Structure 1
Amino acid sequence: MSLVCPRVLAMTTLMIDAGPVAPTARVTRTGGVPLAPAGTPWPCCTSCKGPMQFLVQVVLDDLGEGVEDRGVLALFACQNDPGMCDDWEPDSGGNQALLFPTNGLEPLPQPEGGVDEALLLLGSVRAVSLLHVDEPDYDRAGVKWAAGNDRPASSVLGQLGGDPAWIQGDETPSCTSCAIPMPLIVQLEEGPDHSTAMNFGGCGSAYAFACEPCGRAKFLWQR
């Protein structure tokens, strides 16, 4: 008698544009105001020294691995002079990925000095719906979902967890503390509205990784 192992379906967790949400909502969202512990300074670019633009907040509990209060990931990138500060590189200083604890978060005050808000915040705040698609390949999962729901592919804002769908080569970063390759937390698309989209070089994708035990995170994009 032969034994047949049950087929295990690998799934992709898509992030679908769910419309506007409050700019300080404690949810996974693109845009809005970053939430951080009191006294956290607004991240600045190490190249041009200017304050970075806040892009995304990810509530790590949404990864759905049965662990609560895992914290929040906040992503920033320099938009003071796009293309000049290497904001696509994980260790260039042109972007920052920060892990914060769940408790004690409050809206991060904008830096002083009359900085143009468009350089600090995206033009819209979008909530996400998390949908599990029984397709392990992220690109195919997005196409499958859009075709089955009569929605444009641009409604897919990214994926939560899973395997990166690299546009170029594999650039999975390692933790600077323990040297272990970091797991993907979120892959992001620029967004459906070009006037308020994130800048990943024009039709690019971004990738954020984290080593939660070490409290480290890294962020990069490709096009």
Structure 2
Amino acid sequence: MATFSSLWALVPGASDVPLAKVGGAPEPVGPLPWPACTACGTPMRFLFQLPHVPGRLDLSPYAAVYVFQCENPDTACERWDPHSGANAVVAVEAGTASVEGARPKGLPYAEWNLGLAPAEEDTEALSVDVNEATDEQLAALDRALEEAPESKVGGVAGWVNGDATPECCGEPMRFVAQLAAMPFGLAFGDNGRGYLFRCRRKACGTPFRLTWQGA
């Protein structure tokens, strides 16, 4: 029997959530250091930002997170890897808005506002281990992936290629949100998805991490 959980779909083009967006230039809520790739040293490209939204997206004590990744065409940096240093999730507390650090060359991604709309998904089906699942469970997983929002806040990760939950401080991180590559044209492999996670330890120095999977 399906077990449905409530969550929030991230809706492209909506404007009901100030500061939630993909592309363009980041809109800081406090001091925002622009990250550089630790592998090649190139300033990363800005992907998207999500704000703290009470009752819907809990990022406290941070006011917003800003997501970047290396897109240097001359290197093969492992930008999908949450621990490689080729992507970054910068958590910013409210304060005097500023952006510091070198910017990447080239144009930013096209800017899209994001909204939040109530949604639901079959959490039980999406949580199955594909390596141990029966044919019936795999069929239910496929249905759940088709029916669940591709971009969302809350629920469980809808993996493209199987569970790859990152670990931090010795334990699996907590799923926060996922964002599909399309219609934004983000470089998450072949029409893939980016997954945002948070460390379960409050004192962690890198509380949020990004990983992604392509088809």
* TM score, norm. by length of structure 2: 0.74
Partner Cα separation in structure 1 for residue 58 and residue 33 of structure 2:
32
Segments ≥4 residues shifted beyond 4 Å: 65-70, 137-145
Which of 114, 117, 120 does residue 131 from structure 1 map onto?
A: 117
Partner AA of 1:11 in structure 2: S
Partner Cα separation in structure 2 for residue 175 and residue 207 of structure 1:
15
The Cα of 1:51 is off from its aligned counterpart by 0.3
Partner Cα separation in structure 1 for residue 161 and residue 74 of structure 2:
20
The Cα of 1:207 is off from its aligned counterpart by 0.6
1:200 matched to 2:171? The reply is: no
Partner Cα separation in structure 2 for residue 192 and residue 9 of structure 1:
26
1:15 matched to 2:4? The reply is: no
Moved more, 67-76 or 128-137: 67-76
Residues 222, 134 of structure 1: alpha-carbon distance in 2 compared, 3 angstrom cutoff: closer
Residue equivalent to 1:219: 210
Query: Where do 1:145-164 residues align within 5 Å?
Result: 158-164=151-157
How many residue pairs are counted as aligned between the two chains? 192
Moved more, 92-101 or 209-218: 209-218
Query: Where do 1:60-79 residues align within 5 Å?
Result: 60-61=52-53, 64=56, 70-79=62-71
Residues 36, 67 of structure 1: alpha-carbon distance in 2 compared, 3 angstrom cutoff: closer
Q: For the Cα contact (< 8 Å) 1:73–1:100, is it kept in 2?
A: yes
Partner Cα separation in structure 1 for residue 13 and residue 144 of structure 2:
18
**Once the two structures are superposed, what CA deviation does each residue of 1:166-221 show, in whole Å capped at 9, x if it has no partner?**
11121111223xx232111111111215xxx1100121111110127235111111
Residue equivalent to 2:182: 191
Q: For the Cα contact (< 8 Å) 1:28–1:57, is it kept in 2?
A: yes
**Per the alignment, in what secondary structure is the counterpart of residue 13 of structure 2?**
strand
The Cα RMSD (Å) is 3.2
Residue equivalent to 1:87: 79
* Unaligned 5+ runs, structure 1: 1-6, 146-155
Residues 44, 65 of structure 1: alpha-carbon distance in 2 compared, 3 angstrom cutoff: closer
Residue equivalent to 1:153: none
Query: Where do 1:24-173 residues align within 5 Å?
Result: 26-34=18-26, 35=28, 37-38=30-31, 40-61=32-53, 64=56, 70-81=62-73, 84-101=76-93, 103-104=94-95, 106-109=97-100, 111=102, 115-118=104-107, 121-122=108-109, 124-136=110-122, 144=147, 158-173=151-166
Partner Cα separation in structure 2 for residue 182 and residue 135 of structure 1:
20
The sequence identity of aligned pairs, in percent, is 26
Partner AA of 2:23 in structure 1: G
Residues 111, 36 of structure 1: alpha-carbon distance in 2 compared, 3 angstrom cutoff: farther
